[in-house]
Amino acid sequence: MSQASTCPARLARGNVRRPAPQPKSSTESMDTSRPRSVVIAASSATISSSPVLKNALFAMLLLSTPPSPPSSRTAKYGSSRAIFSHRAAYSSSSFTGIRISPIGPVYNSAIMKAMVVLALAFLPVVSLADVVIEEPRHPRPTPPPTTTTAATTTTTTTPATTTVAPTTTHAPAPAPAQAAAIPEKKPRRYPLAMILSLGVVLTVVLAARRGRARRAQ
């Protein structure tokens, strides 16, 4: 948007359309005519809100990254064809005689398969478990002496029955300083799941490194 279109004088004259309000978030800024982009943005926002999912995805990316194709092939055939032929060569046992999974050599170990499955199955369970501590942010203030306002009550007398309305005592609304000192009731999730996912990712990476070193020998 150019600077001229936002000039107040031109806006006042009415010869320029008022600019659209700036979107507040990245999700709002997405064009609604592109549903795919919106879906991707929404899912990435969900992922970014959960460190556990982020670490699990990072581990999956780390394990599923294929070896880079040879540069000579890329130069000769172009990128997509080179990758296709590279994958085909790696996935077939007849090309080199060595069977290697197309999604990386790490998956060939039975231990690695078991660990990845365990990690992916275990992390959401732990992250969703009620690992919750209710911890007040501030010390609880001593309650002030109860003050009753004169918010009582009408006694309605009818000819048949005499009903005394219950006396309602309205506690005074807390002052701003007092309201800030009231502890938050919202439970806070302790990042045990984040530490666990870090440990699982590190363990998987180290085991993969060890497996590679053993195969290289």
Interface positions with other proteins (CB under 8 A):
111, 115, 126, 129, 131, 133, 135, 190, 192-193, 195-196, 198-200, 202-203, 206-207, 210, 214
Among residues 28 and 184, whose Cβ is nearest to other proteins?
Answer: 184
Nearest distance in Å: CB 134, other proteins = 11
Nearest-CA neighbor of 57 among 70, 68, 69, 48?
Answer: 48
Nearest distance in Å: CB 214, other proteins = 8
Separation in Å, CA 103 to CA 119, 157, 167: 18, 84, 73
Q: What is the CA radius of gyration of the chain?
A: 32
Residues present in the chain in total:
217
Among residues 9 and 133, whose Cβ is nearest to other proteins?
Answer: 133
DSSP annotation of 164 = E
Among residues 40 and 132, whose Cβ is nearest to other proteins?
Answer: 132
Nearest distance in Å: CB 155, other proteins = 52
Give me 61's structure tokens.
Answer: 């990316």
Buried b (16+ CB within 10 A) or exposed e, 77-105: eeeeebbeebeebbeeeeeeeeebeeebb
Nearest distance in Å: CB 109, other proteins = 10
Nearest distance in Å: CB 48, other proteins = 21
Among residues 38 and 126, whose Cβ is nearest to other proteins?
Answer: 126
Among residues 144 and 183, whose Cβ is nearest to other proteins?
Answer: 183
Separation in Å, CA 45 to CA 50, 53, 65: 9, 11, 23
